[in-house]
């Protein structure tokens, strides 16, 4: 192992997921900086104004009204995780599978549940159920309250790309343990945070990550956030599905 | 905030504390690399052969037999956390205080319990109780078992330096939540992982950290480790005091 090699498998994360849960919806980091650390990833925007998905160096903003546009350099994020996508495992999916089945399949082939993995699934989907969060105004309530009013869309028979991460359980709260996946349709007309899907066929690509960089905000809201309240695991399940 | 400034407050950590608890006592990272990421910090050595303490760019190995020597470049670590120490807060201690009282005092002045802090306390101690772990041979048992046989020393009326970190509770397991402190005597004749102390007078210096880099091992032992078993918090309390 050399240090140089390790840089290639870096995941760069802004803030913690528990801060988002606690209503810390404004961060200091612009996407001009996020883009320096990856060409692939997921996240959100200040005021929780849309879901972020990055793939092949293109950063998209999946908005609450169902539209998608490119992310501007000066837009900021309260939570994002990115990497330079460099898959080391590739699998073909040739029979129908639900989100649960695909996640179980991926878990069965991951070399270890103790590392981080970037996951891209390109395919044809019989159905895809996503949500997009919408712009909030201060004083912010918790994300758990916000997602009760979220916009949920179901797409039928569409092509598109899933982007996301597998995160080990021992970092629950700091990140989202397990699978955290966003979707964008091939025609760039729809997408969001994934609740459920059924895939018809496609390709799963997986990158392995053992080098993690977390950048915490120094905003008043983050410094004062309750990042360790008792129901965190439940709330992550509730907000992230 | 600029990215440049953020690099200065980086903490670099090798592996996770939960891996050490689970008996992952051999890592791949040599101190030649660790030293590039900091001049200050704590950790241990492969085979759990001694406690590590770094201060002012000097890296020490506090050995199970009570002796101390400098760390060699090619020695490797299964767990270490370092930073370039750059304190932003300094306090004088002018009356006797126990470890618990000093930690409570530090907690009362920390800007937030959600960031990481490096802590150096230079002073005169009425007593200092430390342990040093001793070289293990495979197959390794858990650290909880190892520390039941640890060498505990109590120094009376000594001068020296405490080096360590405050870590937020939301990263328990990945790191050691709360205070994790090592000690070295001024004459470099004794020290180890701190269990307890009583300070007479001294200086507390505190650095603030919002940029965290974790490098996970890709060894078979780490990949297969149980990093999330139920009693982790208890075991950290038991092994770290």
pLDDT by 10s per residue, chain A, length 241: 334 344 569 999 999 999 998 899 999 999 999 999 999 999 999 999 999 999 999 999 999 888 899 999 999 999 999 999 999 999 999 999 999 999 999 999 999 999 999 999 999 999 999 998 888 988 888 888 888 777 888 999 999 999 999 999 888 888 888 999 999 999 999 999 999 999 999 999 999 999 999 999 999 999 999 987 666 667 767 777 6
pLDDT tens across B191-224, in order?
999 999 999 999 999 999 999 999 999 999 999 9
**Of the candidates A177, A110, A239, which has an alpha carbon nearest to the alpha carbon of residue B228?**
A177
Whole-number pLDDT of residue A77: 98
Residues of chain A neighbouring B6 (CB-CB closer than 8 A):
215
Whole-number pLDDT of residue B232: 64
Residue B1 confidence (pLDDT) above 50: no
Whole-number pLDDT of residue A50: 95
For A4, residues 6+ apart whose C-beta sits below 8 A from its C-beta are none
Facing A112 at nearest CB: one of B168, B210, B223: B223
Mean pLDDT of chain B: 91
The tally of CA atoms less than 13 A away on the side-chain side of residue B89 is: 16
pLDDT tens across B78-101, in order?
999 999 999 999 999 999 999 999
Q: Which token pair is B68?
A: 């101390």
Whole-number pLDDT of residue A147: 80
Whole-number pLDDT of residue B151: 81
* Residue scoring higher pLDDT (B5 or B215): B215
Domain ranges of chain A: 3-240
Alpha-carbon distance of B195 to B182, in angstroms, equals 9
Phi and psi at A14, nearest 5°, equal: -95, 125
pLDDT tens across B182-192, in order?
999 999 999 99
Residues of chain B neighbouring A5 (CB-CB closer than 8 A):
none
Question: What CATH code would you report for B3-240?
Answer: 3.30.1330.80
> Residue B162: which pLDDT band, with cuts at 50, 70 and 90?
very high
Over residues B41-52, mean pLDDT: 96
| Interface residue ranges in chain A relative to chain B, Cβ cutoff 8 Å | 1, 3, 6, 16, 18-19, 28-29, 33, 36, 111-112, 114-116, 168-171, 173-174, 210-218, 222-225, 227-228
Report the phi/psi class of residue B192: left, alpha or beta, with left for phi > 0 and alpha for psi in -120 to 50: left
Residue B112 confidence (pLDDT) above 80: yes
Residues of chain A neighbouring B222 (CB-CB closer than 8 A):
112, 114
Check: CB of residue A31 under 8 Å from CB of residue A60. Answer: no
With 0-12 CB in 10 A as exposed, 13-18 as middle and 19+ as buried, what is B157?
A: exposed
Alpha-carbon distance of B212 to B155, in angstroms, equals 34
The alpha-carbon gap from A182 to the nearest alpha carbon of chain B, in Å, equals: 25
Residue carrying structure tokens 């997408």: A191
Strands A211-215 and A10-14, bridge-based pairing: parallel
Q: Residue A237 in 3-state DSSP? A: helix
Q: Looking at chain A, which residue has its C-alpha nearest residue B29? A: A1
ipTM of the complex: 0.91
* Residue scoring higher pLDDT (A200 or B151): A200
Whole-number pLDDT of residue B7: 52
Beta-strand (E) ranges in A47-115?
51-55, 58-62, 68-70, 76-77, 80-83, 89-93, 97-98
Whole-number pLDDT of residue A150: 77
Whole-number pLDDT of residue A1: 37
* Residue scoring higher pLDDT (A236 or B121): B121
């Amino acid at each position: 192992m050399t240090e140089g090699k390790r840089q290639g498998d870096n995941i760069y994360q802004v803030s913690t997921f528990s801060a988002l849960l606690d209503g810390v919806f404004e961060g200091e980091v612009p996407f001009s900086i996020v883009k320096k650390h990856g060409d692939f990833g997921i996240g959100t925007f200040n005021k929780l104004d849309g879901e972020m998905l990055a793939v092949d160096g293109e950063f998209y903003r999946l908005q609450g009204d169902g539209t998608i546009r490119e992310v501007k350099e000066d837009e900021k994020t309260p939570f994002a995780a990115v990497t330079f996508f460099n898959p080391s495992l590739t699998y073909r999916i040739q029979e129908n599978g639900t989100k649960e089945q695909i996640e179980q399949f991926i878990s069965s082939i991951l070399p270890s549940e103790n590392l981080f993995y970037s996951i891209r699934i390109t395919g044809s989907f019989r159905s895809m159920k996503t949500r997009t969060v919408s712009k909030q105004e201060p004083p912010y309530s918790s994300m758990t309250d916000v997602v009760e009013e979220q916009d949920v869309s179901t797409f039928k028979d569409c092509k598109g790309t899933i982007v996301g991460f597998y995160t080990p359980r021992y970092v629950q709260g700091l990140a989202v343990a397990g699978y955290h996946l966003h979707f964008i349709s091939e025609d760039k007309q729809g997408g969001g945070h994934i609740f459920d899907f059924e895939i018809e066929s496609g390709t799963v690509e997986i990158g392995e990550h053992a080098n993690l960089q977390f950048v915490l905000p120094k905003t008043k809201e983050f410094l004062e956030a309750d990042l360790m309240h008792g129901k965190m695991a439940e709330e992550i399940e509730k907000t992230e599905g």
